[in-house]
Structure 1
Amino acid sequence: MKKSLFPLLLGGLGIGTTEFVMMGLLPDIAKNLHISIPTAGHLISAYALGVVVGAPLLVMMTSNYPPKKVLLALMAIFTLFNTVSAFAPSHITLLIARFFAGLPHGAFFGVGAVVASRLAEKGKQAQAISMMFAGLTIANLAIVPLGTWVGHHFLWRYTFGIVAFIGLITLFFLTIWMPTLPVIRSGNARSELQMFKSAEVWLVILITAIGTGGLFAWISYIAPLMTEVSHFSAGSVSWILILAGFGMVVGNIIGGRLADKFKPSVACAWLLVAMAVTLLGIYLFSGNQVISLLFTFIAGALSIALASPIQILMINTAKGAEMLGAAITQAAFNVGNALGAFFGGLPIAAGLGYASPSLVGMLMAIIGVLFAFVLVKKQARVNTHVQVALAD
């Protein structure tokens, strides 16, 4: 790995930790701040809202500045508001801090993805982007369980302190190892927004928001699935999540290589097919503990294997607005998070059991497959027209 990519990995580590550790900290925060767990759950929504708002807004505001300065500014905001979260005196203060901490999330990954692709060797752009997402996978494998343990056995504020410390380290390595790349912007904010007139861009957004939302339908309810259907003890859930995190590490490597070896749209389509099959397997076989663990690993791998192909697909599709497109993809991932959790909860509320969200996830993945194959056909048609035009 090039040392210039290391600060992006660290940034992904901090962002992944602060996003996913909240699920494990909710009971401790609720108890400490004297609020209900559903009320504490609004902290997750506030962060996701910050991502959706901040991704396009901050990218458009900073597009005229060198990428290194933009990444430094975004990580400074991230570090500041995670520090505020650690010292928040009330639920309202923490809610506001979580919203502002989420603002730089999508923009950092969006700008970082474009920077990684520019720093990469020819033909290895997706693998370079996967190095940034490797931070997110390491967070889920190690730092999120550690932060949950610290928050439960000591104080949840210390966990946000750890995240802020990761932010400071990221700022340091961005300063010394990130090269100063020139600004590449062929238009202005108005011209960049023209990308939303492209059917291909909307197909990528739909693939991300609906297709990957299928996995969130599964993972949002993984704890009751494992305890009530697979009959693991409650204490085993943390280890099962580490297994899913290990799957993410493996999947991130595979996804990056697939996107460099095949067309990103084709890689996305077949990964979504694999996701649909896996979620069906989870629904059918979660009663068997060994098979349940196997599918947990595979689903974890698929959850992140899609990240690099989708990101490089959007960068290639949103020509002239690459950073905005990459940031929008991150916003779409968070929309998928919300949609998956919402739709996955409906069959549970209807009394269909804790395995039922996997069926919902399978249907969402299949819809994503359909959008992906439509995009593959549109790209093939465009390539044919270009070849004909060149021949004339």
Structure 2
Amino acid sequence: MLVVFSFTTGEFVIAGILPDVAADLAVSIPATGLLVTAYALGMIVGGPVVTVVTARLGRKPLIVGLITVSIIGNLGSAVAPNYGVLLVSRFIAGLVVATFFAVAITIAVSMASENKQASTVAKLTLGMNLGMILGTPIGTFIGQNVNWRATFVAVVACSVVALLLVLPSVPAHPSTVTGSVLGEMRVFAHRDVQLAIALTAVGNVGIVTVFTFIAPLLTDVSGFSAGAVPVLLLVYGAGAVVGNFVGGWLSDKALMPSLAGLLAALAGILTLLWFVSGIQVLAAIFTFVLGALAFAIVPGMQTRVMATASAAPTLAVAVNASSFQAAAAFAGWLGGRVITSGQGLHSIYLVGAILTLAGLAIAVYSLRRDRHMSLSSL
């Protein structure tokens, strides 16, 4: 969880220190924004590639190696003499994230009891929540009051502490790959695996589109002051923590029915916000609810991928993480197109709801498929 916290902070904190980085390295804000893209591209590329290349390594040495690469990437970011080195360093830091997340989940789930797998995933993803609501603002504060390089030094320090905890506590599991590494790619030919990965990408793209533009939605649509946005983001983050654990508990009880129900609730709330987002009290309340629902679906989606890809769970979860990053990249592009098309900022909520309904359709189809296969086996 602490490693995930460090990785998440390292990913999102750049947004808070962009002006400082731009001023120090004498580059434009748009160019500095590509640092976020470089990290995301590292995750998208690294998910499948790093996982396949390292598939035969023992799980503990692999975990240690992945954390070490991240430390090197963030340390390179802290001492980067120019923009080019910083861009490469951000790519390197992102390169190992999806594989680490996949290996960490498979190790943790293998140690959990059968009815506690999704809640175990939720404990790991809590690090993501805390990275967003605590790590990012703390890192931004350090960057603004010391300098932006100190922010990355702090991320490195946190990762080193996490690594020291990993060394004595993570069991030395061998690699689960016994045949051809490339042969593991056959797992993606299975319809259920394809549906599980599509569920993650499509099911999240609606809420990610909304979250990408949440600051202007709160100020320009709901009428909050700019100073209220950090507070409301904390409210969103508090909802995320609650939703993360509730989603894990629900998924342990009934995986696909709970995912379908949560996606339906998320689509409903987004649609409701399309109507009432101009009422500040309701907008504030629904900000908490959005955070809760956005993260309630995460443990179940990860567990679903592992359940359907039992022959190659680590590779499947890594590709799943990459698909989420691709969905996030698409969300930013789509939201911008919606706004510039004349539909207006307000319509982002409706677009998010429609996209979430597409994810719900995949969940319902998967649930029906499961029930049909269960009846066929009787």
Identify whether the pair has TM-score above 0.5, normalized to the shorter chain.
Answer: yes
SS at match of 1:123: helix
Deviations 1:17-42 (A, max 9, x none): 11222222222222222222221111
Deviations 1:329-353 (A, max 9, x none): 1111111211111111212112333
Q: CA deviation at 1:203?
A: 1.2
Deviations 1:78-108 (A, max 9, x none): 1110111111111111111111110111001
Q: Does 1:248 align with 2:229?
A: no
Q: Does 1:227 align with 2:247?
A: no
SS at match of 2:376: helix
Give the conservation status (yes or no) of the 8 Å contact 2:116–2:252.
yes
Equivalent residue in structure 1 for 2:268, among 248, 260, 277? 277
- Supply the AA of the counterpart residue of 2:157: F
Give the conservation status (yes or no) of the 8 Å contact 1:344–1:356.
no
Aligned partner of 2:12 in structure 1 is 20
Q: Does 1:366 align with 2:357?
A: yes
- Supply the AA of the counterpart residue of 1:159: T
Q: 1:294 to 1:324 in 2, by over 3 A?
A: same
Equivalent residue in structure 2 for 1:215, among 193, 197, 207? 207
CA distance in 2, matches of 1:152, 1:238: 15
CA distance in 1, matches of 2:230, 2:359: 30
Q: Which structure 1 residue ranges, 5 or more long, are not aligned?
A: 1-8, 388-392
Q: Does 1:189 align with 2:197?
A: no
CA distance in 1, matches of 2:294, 2:70: 24
CA distance in 1, matches of 2:350, 2:146: 38
Q: Which structure 2 residue ranges, 5 or more long, are not aligned?
A: none
Q: CA deviation at 1:166?
A: 1.2
Q: CA RMSD in A?
A: 1.4
- Supply the AA of the counterpart residue of 1:15: F
Q: Does 1:311 align with 2:302?
A: yes
SS at match of 1:160: helix
- Supply the AA of the counterpart residue of 1:333: F
Aligned partner of 1:134 in structure 2 is 126
CA distance in 2, matches of 1:80, 1:105: 13
Give the conservation status (yes or no) of the 8 Å contact 2:44–2:322.
yes
Aligned partner of 2:319 in structure 1 is 328
Give the conservation status (yes or no) of the 8 Å contact 2:208–2:328.
yes
CA distance in 2, matches of 1:286, 1:59: 42
Equivalent residue in structure 2 for 1:258, among 236, 250, 259? 250
Give the conservation status (yes or no) of the 8 Å contact 1:111–1:323.
yes
- Supply the AA of the counterpart residue of 1:17: T
CA distance in 2, matches of 1:208, 1:45: 20
Q: Does 1:45 align with 2:37?
A: yes
Q: Which moved more, 1:273-282 or 1:212-221?
A: 273-282
SS at match of 2:377: helix
CA distance in 2, matches of 1:250, 1:322: 27
Aligned residues, how many?
A: 378
| Equivalent runs, 1:156-167 vs 2, <5 Å | 156-167=148-159
Q: CA deviation at 1:257?
A: 0.6
| Equivalent runs, 1:38-187 vs 2, <5 Å | 38-187=30-179
SS at match of 2:96: helix
CA distance in 2, matches of 1:185, 1:266: 32
Q: If the length of structure 1 is used for normalisation, what is the TM-score? A: 0.93
Q: Does 1:294 align with 2:264?
A: no
Aligned partner of 1:348 in structure 2 is 339
Q: If the length of structure 2 is used for normalisation, what is the TM-score? A: 0.97
CA distance in 1, matches of 2:141, 2:317: 33
CA distance in 1, matches of 2:13, 2:273: 24
Aligned partner of 1:203 in structure 2 is 195
SS at match of 2:200: helix
Q: CA deviation at 1:186?
A: 4.2
Deviations 1:252-299 (A, max 9, x none): 101111110102x32222221111112112222121111111111111
SS at match of 1:355: helix
SS at match of 1:306: helix
Identity between Structure 1 and Structure 2 (%): 34
- Supply the AA of the counterpart residue of 1:321: A
